[in-house]
Structure 1
Amino acid sequence: SSASVRRKELEVKIAAAKREAELKQRQDEIKLADEEAEESLLRLQL
């Protein structure tokens, strides 16, 4: 039936949105780690 097709499409969209959110969170964490590493290097150079 069309209801099950719609539900399946919704599940796919939700899964894609979750993956996107996880990816963005990882990118933010990596960016933060990069900034912390840069600060550590600057302190070592002083």
Structure 2
Amino acid sequence: MAGALTENQKKWLNDDYICRLTILQAMNDSLFNTFQKYATALEL
């Protein structure tokens, strides 16, 4: 089935989501508004 994610891809997406939200949560409001548009932790 083309387009199905592997377990490693699913884990990476979940880990990236948690990392991104953790970084954003630590920011003050003015920084949060600037950086919330980035889709991945790597982009932050």
Greater RCO (CA < 8 Å, at least 6 residues apart): 2
Could you state the TM-score of these two structures normalised by the residue count of structure 1?
0.48
